[in-house]
């Protein structure tokens, strides 16, 4: 129904031009409400084999683009072990009657972490802002729980190595690749395997991950400055590790040569 049709008659009463002009917003709303809405299927990202998440009615397909939704990971994967995990999606485009989504966030329910925090263990929380290979700013929050209580140099070593590993991983990965690694728990396992060389780790998990879509220019500049400073520290640490490894190789070689040269008694 259009505005002209509404102007002719309403409930058997002729409506004058002056009345229509005074109530134009109301009648436009009535005309819009009378239009038929169309149903669109919301489709999960390719990582979940394009599973249908649900349907939604809208007047125009373009109004769907940019809408966000949160989904329990157990619902998409049919794996009840993942019911403590929630992912955030955004509708990025509409193909025909299908609204295609992409991942923009990941969150672990607080209760799933609390049950591992006990007396006699230490908890380390790290929040890192970094930029992916395809220039997307992300915030990632990681929690470590050690087998026993730690202090001083061990805690510092874990913090430094965790920061180095995460920055390096993010800078070498596209956002989509990084998201899939986090949801598939591959990144968490990789970090745990490397950090346990410093000290035994009970839990290494990512409790929050988000794509910062609407970041300010000032904040972006600060993040880049922090990353640049961090990169220098990381380079220094890696050089020290290489020197240490080289010294260990030399020492091991000298010990082997000494054993060979030792005369038989």
Question: Rounded to a whole number, what is the distance in angstroms from the first to the last CA of the chain?
Answer: 109
- The DSSP code for 47 is G
By the 10 Å C-beta count (0-12 exposed, 13-18 middle, 19+ buried), 138 is classed as: buried
Tens digit of pLDDT for each residue in 102-138?
999 999 988 888 777 888 899 999 999 999 999 999 9
The answer on pLDDT for 254 being more than 70 is no
- What are the E-state strand segments in the chain? 38-43, 52-58, 68-72, 85-95, 98-108, 123-131, 137-146, 201-211
Would you say the pTM of this structure is higher than 0.85? no
Instruction: Give the Cα separation of 42 and 46 in Å (integer).
Output: 13
Planar angle of CA 252, 258, 260, nearest 5 degrees: 105
pLDDT score for 18? 59
Instruction: Give the Cα separation of 246 and 140 in Å (integer).
Output: 34
Q: Name beta bridge partners: 145.
A: 123, 203
As a whole number, mean pLDDT of residues 44-67 equals 91
CATH architecture of structural domain 110-238: 2-Layer Sandwich (3.30)
Q: Which is nearest to 112 in space by CA: 72, 75, 157, 140?
A: 72
CB 90 within 8 Å of CB 60: no
Residue appearing with tokens 């990512």: 206
Tens digit of pLDDT for each residue in 221-246?
888 888 887 777 767 766 776 777 67
For residue 238, how many other CB atoms are within 10 A of its CB?
A: 12
pLDDT score for 108? 92
pLDDT score for 29? 63
Tens digit of pLDDT for each residue in 164-223?
999 999 999 999 999 999 999 999 999 999 999 999 999 999 999 999 988 888 888 888
Residue-range domain boundaries for the chain: 38-108, 110-238
Residue 7 pLDDT class (50, 70, 90 cuts): very low
Kind of pairing, strands 38-43 and 201-211?
A: unpaired
Q: Give every CB contact of residue 229 below 8 A, 6+ residues apart in sequence.
A: none
pLDDT score for 35? 63
The pair of structure tokens assigned to 188 is 């968490």
Residue with the bigger pLDDT between 155 and 236: it is 155
């Amino acid at each position: 129904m259009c505005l002209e049709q509404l102007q002719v008659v309403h409930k058997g009463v002729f409506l004058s031009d002056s009345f229509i002009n005074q109530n134009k917003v109301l009648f436009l709303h009535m005309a819009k409400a009378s239009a038929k809405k169309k149903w669109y299927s919301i489709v999960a990202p390719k990582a979940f084999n394009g599973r249908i998440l649900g349907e939604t009615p809208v007047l125009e397909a373009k109004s769907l683009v940019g809408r966000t939704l949160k989904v329990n990971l157990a619902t998409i994967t049919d794996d009840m072990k993942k019911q403590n995990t929630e992912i955030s999606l955004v509708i990025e485009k509409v193909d025909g009657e299908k609204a295609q989504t992409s991942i923009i966030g990941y969150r672990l329910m607080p209760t799933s972490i609390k049950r591992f925090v006990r007396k006699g263990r230490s908890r380390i929380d790290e929040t890192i802002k970094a930029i992916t290979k395809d220039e997307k700013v992300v915030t990632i929050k990681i929690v470590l729980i050690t087998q026993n209580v730690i202090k001083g140099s061990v805690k510092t070593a874990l913090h430094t190595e965790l920061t180095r590993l995460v920055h390096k991983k993010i800078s070498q990965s596209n956002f989509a690749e990084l998201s899939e690694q986090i949801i598939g728990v591959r990144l968490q396992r990789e970090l745990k395997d490397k950090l346990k060389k410093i000290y035994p780790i009970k839990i290494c998990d990512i409790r929050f991950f988000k794509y910062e879509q609407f970041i300010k220019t000032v904040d972006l500049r600060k993040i880049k400055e922090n990353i640049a400073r961090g990169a220098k520290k990381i380079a220094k640490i890696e050089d020290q590790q290489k020197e240490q490894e080289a010294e260990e190789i030399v020492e091991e070689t000298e010990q082997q040569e000494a054993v060979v040269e030792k005369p038989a008694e």
